[in-house]
Structure 1
Amino acid sequence: MSSDTSSSVPRPLPPSDPDGSPAPGVRPRPAGSTRPASARAPDIDLVVDCAVYIAGERHEPEHPHQALTYAEEKGGFVWLGLFEPTEDELDEIAARYGLHPLAVEDAVYAHQRPKIDHYDDGVFMVLKTATYVEHEQLTATSEVVDTGEVMIFLGRNYVITVRHGDHGALTGLRRSLEQQRDLLCLGPAAVLYALADHVVDDFVDVAAQVEEDVDELEASVFSDRRTDDIGRLYQLKRELMSLRRAVSPLEVPLQKLANRQVDVVPDEMRSYFRDVEDHAIRVRDQVSALDELLTSILQASLARTSQADNEDMRKISAYAGIIAVPTAIAGIYGMNFEYMPELDEPWGYPAVLLVILGAIVLLYRGFKRNGWL
């Protein structure tokens, strides 16, 4: 595997990263810069991998800067993988490959919507990536879905992938695709298909794991024990929204690739993109269904909370009514009137106690029969 930076002398990949995936890090923004600085650590290479594919076989150019010339001479294409390039780094590569400035600007900025743009004789596509964040127990602050981005520049003899985010490494995908020579023989569009298919498959996995969280919350809300799941439900709904924003806009770009004539995408690839589109639609429907289910569960949780509050208020009111009887009787005798004949009778005190006890028993049985206690 070859790696290269924007300088004339390539730097090797760090030994701590054997699979070629850059480790996360933070590079501070340069003073006065209006563009976002790279989040790549200073010791992490810009170029993750660079290879030329001829008749479905991988070839290593003598120098990454010579890859495009080598591919044009041999009738192949270059696959150049980049990780969070800065503006200056990508400008140099853009000049070498003839990339459109607007597409370059989008590739430097992260937080793009999934889309596809046509520039001259090339295509620029943005894909959102997603991964499920493992957690022991879902809380009101748990991170469930982590998203990133992959930008793809597609030309007749090159494909450049720009990855943003600490997950979604493409090394495994590249190795898997290199085992499919017939697919690679279809040109750079095969890489675009493989990337889209890989991203959508990840969506399927993430949606399945989120569904397990939804099932756990549903069981908790409708359990016999009294729980407060509103915070957890709201947090999961927010996290599901991140996945929905990554999945839903992807349908339109895939439709264009599957149904419209695109110069750099051969007709043989349309059926491949149509298959990815079908999977993306199914994931979109699944995510929408989960979102609607969460809304219903949230409403049910609010209803149960309101019902529990009403039950508590009825119990409090019932006990207050029971306590009111002895309080009222004690209040009457506490006024110390002179003419109260029963005060001089030996049965007066026991009789009052029996009246109080009888009233309490009758009220308790009445409240119990009506479901207030």
Structure 2
Amino acid sequence: MIRQICNKEEHGYDWIDINAPDDGELQEIASSYGLHAALVHDCLQPGHLPKYESLDDYAFIIFRVYTDYDLLEADTVQELTNKVAIFYSASFFITIHRYPQPFLEPVIKKGTLLKNTHQLLNAVVRACLTTYDEPSNKLAQSVDYYEEQVFLSKRNMPILKGLYYLRRKIDLLKRMLMLSRDIIENIDDHQGNVNTRDTRDLYVKLSTIYDSLNDNINQLLNTYFSTASQRTNETMRVLTIFSVFFMPLTFIVGIYGMNFKFMPELEHPWGYPGVLLLMLIITVAVYFWFRKKRWL
């Protein structure tokens, strides 16, 4: 669907927004504004990563925005982000996307108040960056939750799968922001002003947040593995202590369980209580030996 938001006669430039385009609509726009066929082809690739490409009389931008359909186990570019393609020059501004993008509506409402396409580009890119703001808060809360489960919970919760998908999300969104750096650099260049500086500041802030989240989740994973290993070692220590207690007792029982006819202790009146007393002495000796070694 093609929607014209601004026109050159009233605003000095054309702004055309295209939602869920087909080949015919893209070819029509491409021929009207002289767009390169290879760049139009990039608009149709759903998994294309962020890029900035400058031509003689216009620039082509692909920005990936965070999707509203956040699934618990989403961990791919297409599951976590949507692509917005932008053709930008002094006389026209074209936005292309496969799905409706709610974050664009506030920009559309004030689009008629913007003086030129550079201001419009800054507003759109800033709106794109804003889509990463709320997810960063949710991811930070998730990191806090898993951190509490790792350090404070006494239950053996199967949290490794959740940590894996959380790490994948943070890492992927961090890479999307990193790949968008060229776009920010070209917006806040010699034409930059207070508004473009705010956009750069927002980008730096989000990049810092996702860097911090990435470091935190990696440290949390390492801590989880260390804690799991420590719990396993603790279990093995307890089992080893029990085995040390029972090994000599089992040895004694094994001896007197042999079916030999001539075993003097079998006919001794104090044989049975004597063996029990010997087992008790061995058990107490092992206990105090462990206490001396501080293993108990």
The residue identity in structure 2 corresponding to 1:223 is L
- Distance verdict in 2 for CA 1:143–1:252, change over 3 Å: closer
Q: Which of 196, 210, 213 pairs up with 1:290?
A: 213
Q: 2:185 aligns with which of 229, 235, 255?
A: 255
**Partners in 2 of 1:291 and 1:174 — Cα distance?**
34
Counterpart code for 1:83? N
The one of 84, 101, 105 aligned to 1:150: 84
Shift of 1:86: 2.6
Using a 3 Å threshold, how does the CA distance of structure 1 residues 196 and 157 change in structure 2: closer, same or farther? same
Question: TM-score normalised to the size of structure 1?
Answer: 0.71
> Is 1:99 the counterpart of 2:22 in the alignment?
no
The answer on whether the counterparts of 1:130 and 1:202 sit within 8 Å (CA) in structure 2 is yes
Asked if the contact 1:251–1:281 (Cα under 8 Å) also holds between the matched residues in 2, the reply is no
Q: Which residue pairs with 2:50 in the alignment?
A: 114
Q: What's the offset of the Cα at 1:190? A: 2.1
For residue 6 of structure 2, give the secondary structure of its aligned residue in structure 1: strand
1:159 and 2:93 are equivalent in the alignment: yes
**2:158 counterpart of 1:235:** no
- How far, CA to CA, are the matches of 1:307 and 1:119 in structure 2? 58
| Equivalent residues in 2 for 1:1-373, closer than 5 Å | 46-47=1-2, 49-52=3-6, 71=8, 73-74=9-10, 76-131=12-67, 141=73, 146-165=80-99, 168=102, 170-178=104-112, 181=113, 184=114, 186-227=115-156, 228-260=158-190, 267=191, 269-364=192-287, 366-367=289-290
Code of the aligned partner of 1:196: V
What displacement does 1:362 show? 3.5
Identity %: 28
Deviation at 1:343, TM superposition (A): 2.7
Distance 2:187 2:68 in 1: 28
SS of the residue corresponding to residue 259 of structure 1 reads: coil
SS class of match (1:211): helix
Where relative contact order (Cα < 8 A, 6+ residues apart) is larger, the structure is: 2
Q: 1:96-136 CA distances to partner (integer Å, 9 max, x unpaired)?
A: 1222223212112222222221223112111110146567x
Inter-partner Cα distance in structure 2 for 1:134 and 1:128: 15
Per-residue CA deviation, residues 1-51 of structure 1 (Å, 9 max, x unaligned), is xxxxxxxxxxxxxxxxxxxxxxxxxxxxxxxxxxxxxxxxxxxxx22x322
Where is the helix percentage greater, Structure 1 or Structure 2?
2
Query: Is the 1:129–1:150 Cα contact (8 Å) retained in structure 2?
Result: yes
Unaligned runs of 5+ in 1: 1-45, 54-70, 261-266
Question: Would the alpha carbon gap of residues 156 and 256 (structure 1) be closer, same or farther in structure 2, given more than 3 Å must change?
Answer: closer
Distance of 1:89 and 1:142 partners within structure 2: 31
> TM-score, normalization: structure 2?
0.88
Cα distance in structure 2, aligned partners of 1:96 and 1:321: 86
* Aligned mates of 1:366, 1:323 — CA distance in 2: 15
- Count of residues in correspondence between the two structures: 293
Tell me the CA shift for residue 74 of structure 1.
Answer: 4.7
For 1:57, the equivalent position in structure 2 comes to: none
* Structure 2 counterpart SS, 1:110: coil
Q: Distance in 2 between matches of 1:214 and 1:369?
A: 42
CA shift at 1:93, angstroms?
A: 1.2
- 2-side partners of 1:166 and 1:346: how far apart? 94
Letter in 2 for 1:274: R
Letter matched to residue 175 of structure 1? K
